[in-house]
Amino acid sequence: MTDRLRLTLAQIDFTVGDIAGNVARILAARDKAAAAGADLLVTSELSVTGYPPEDLVLKPAFVAEAKAALARLAAATADGGPALLVGAPWATDEGLFNAVFILDGGGIAARRDKVDLPNYGVFDEKRVFRAGALPEVVEFRGVRLGLPICEDIWTPAVTGHLAARGAEIMIVPNGSPFEAGKDDLRLDLVRARVAETGVPLIYLNQVGGQDELVFDGASFAVGADGTPSFRLPAFEEALATMDWRRGAGGWGADDGPQAERPGPLARIYGAMVLGLRDYVNKNRFPGVVLGLSGGIDSAISAAVAVDALGPERVWCVMLPSRYTSPDSLEDAALCAGMLGVRLDEVGIEPAVEAFSAMLGPVFAGRKPDITEENIQSRARGLALMAISNKFGHMVLTTGNKSEVSVGYATLYGDMCGGYSVLKDLYKTTVFALSRWRNENRPAGALGPAGLVMPERIITKPPTAELRENQKDQDSLPPYEVLDDILEALVEGEMAFEDVVARGHDPATVRRIEHLLYVAEYKRRQAAPGVKIGRKLFGRDRRYPITNGFRDAY
């Protein structure tokens, strides 16, 4: 028995597959935990391999390297310093498990396996892991610990079982990706488990970007009375050491850090910045290049890029055609100046004229139509990809979810690129974020304070400028109408009649549903991008391209 346990919580940005690098980060955190006199360093789910490793765990060599890394970490604890709580895949004769380990005294002191394997949305752990049995408590230095893993606390079974076995503190390593509104959902969930069991719970979440997922950290603990004991910051690494003490009412934490909880737009923006930063840095790109059109989508994309990478790693290119307005040229130049980025101008008219000459004999007798508009867009994509090939910068594509939903985007044109920070953002949210960023400089941002784009970019009617006097609403309903219909159809999977009942014109709903379905082939070829809402195209929402179903008629 003991009346005090000192824990160091490590909210670390691990890299999937970089086992040696992850081990080094764990050991560096352990050194700090030792200096703080900690008994145990706690890390997140599958911290040795990074999360989610997806089908990497099907490679025996990968699992073997993770096992060897565990042995190295275990050997480090032979010095009598802090024990380690780490996660790693573990292969037995029964199968492969998503496991958590306590390493202490030079060896593996305990192993517990994840019971509830998520198999929805972005998760498909049942493809690669076997579910573990209901776990027993772990006796650690006089304290009975419950070690459920992430999804294990989303239903009462595992925590109830551990409480019945005498668990005194629940420590939960998580790999829980960001989603708008999920912060409150997690807190409510943990409070529910604590209320059911009477056992305090530590929710330790990883932080960092992994392809389309962003892990927001924001780790916290809830005491037996339902009160949050501490909260670590969102979207940044953190290391915190706290004492837990046994009192008359059980275990509780001394007051710890109480990081500010960002507002809804700040959380979305933070996810975009971290997702892009880690995608660029972990994939070793020197920076990004993007077309700066003088429109709102490219302006907010450039602002996110500067906040993520710094202005010196963001290269903007204006790609004017005969239809580009003087206002657009001026707004792009002003935006680049506000952000402090390089801006080059590469006119696309020579390429457009060359294609017209090349295709003229084939197109003879045909009137100009969307084909000529798409040629302009693809000429821009070609120019940006050439710059990328020559200098190594990744092309940042700038399309938003409203446009991509209905196919208002050109394959190999404005869809051209390696990553998209707007992929899961409807246009109305793009407007809101742009206004927010002009009024706020997020913590940790590498971009400037103050305005990051001219006000006119936000207020002028959106246009692709691919023909004379073109406006988005020539082809689409107003964005507040379009986005409400799309949210109902995509996020809500609502029936046609229910969408109409929200106050929408039946013919408009029918047309938008049709456009949504027939654009699936384009989305299959779209760049990855930051998951923000419930239904990210390609990860959460996976519809067939060949699809004869229509609810609207």
Phi/psi at 391 (5° precision): -115, -10
Residue 301: strand, helix, or coil: helix
Beta bridge partners of 222: 201, 228
Instruction: Give all strands (DSSP E) within 93-141, no chain letters.
Output: 95-104, 107-113, 138-140
327 marked as part of a ligand binding site = no
296 marked as part of a ligand binding site = yes
Residue 86: strand, helix, or coil: strand
294 marked as part of a ligand binding site = yes
107 marked as part of a ligand binding site = no
Instruction: Give all strands (DSSP E) within 296-438, no chain letters.
Output: 314-318, 342-345, 394-397, 419-420
237 marked as part of a ligand binding site = no
Choosing from 32, 67, 114, 471, the catalytic residue is 114
182 marked as part of a ligand binding site = yes
Question: What tokens appear for 11 in the block?
Answer: 């909210």
Question: What tokens appear for 258 in the block?
Answer: 């109480």
By residue count, the chain amounts to 553
Beta bridge partners of 173: 204
- The answer to whether 318 touches 292, Cβ cutoff 8 Å, is yes
389 marked as part of a ligand binding site = no
323 marked as part of a ligand binding site = no
DSSP state letters, 382-414:
HHHHHHHHHH-PEEEE---HHHHHTT-S-TTTT
403 marked as part of a ligand binding site = yes
427 marked as part of a ligand binding site = no
Q: Is there a catalytic annotation at residue 150? A: yes
CA dihedral of residues 132, 134, 140, 143 (deg, nearest 10): 160
Q: How many beta carbons lie within 10 A of that of residue 93, not counting itself?
A: 4
Amino acid found at 429: T
Choosing from 150, 316, 335, 416, the catalytic residue is 150
401 marked as part of a ligand binding site = no
What is d(CA 333, CA 259) in angstroms, rounded to the nearest whole number?
A: 38
325 marked as part of a ligand binding site = no
- The answer to whether 221 touches 203, Cβ cutoff 8 Å, is yes
Instruction: Give all strands (DSSP E) within 167-212, no chain letters.
Output: 169-174, 201-205, 207-210
287 marked as part of a ligand binding site = no
372 marked as part of a ligand binding site = no
Q: Is there a catalytic annotation at residue 45? A: yes
- The answer to whether 374 touches 308, Cβ cutoff 8 Å, is no
What is d(CA 324, CA 55) in angstroms, rounded to the nearest whole number?
A: 46
- The answer to whether 120 touches 151, Cβ cutoff 8 Å, is no
292 marked as part of a ligand binding site = yes
What is d(CA 135, CA 229) in angstroms, rounded to the nearest whole number?
A: 26
- 503 CA to centre of own chain: 33
Q: How many beta carbons lie within 10 A of that of residue 162, not counting itself?
A: 26
Residues making up the binding site for ATP: 291-298, 398
Task: Give the residue ranges of the annotated binding site for deamido-NAD(+).
Answer: 374, 403, 522
**Annotated binding-site residue numbers:** 120, 176, 182, 291-298, 374, 398, 403, 522
Active site residues: 45, 114, 150
Residues tagged in the binding site annotation for L-glutamine: 120, 176, 182
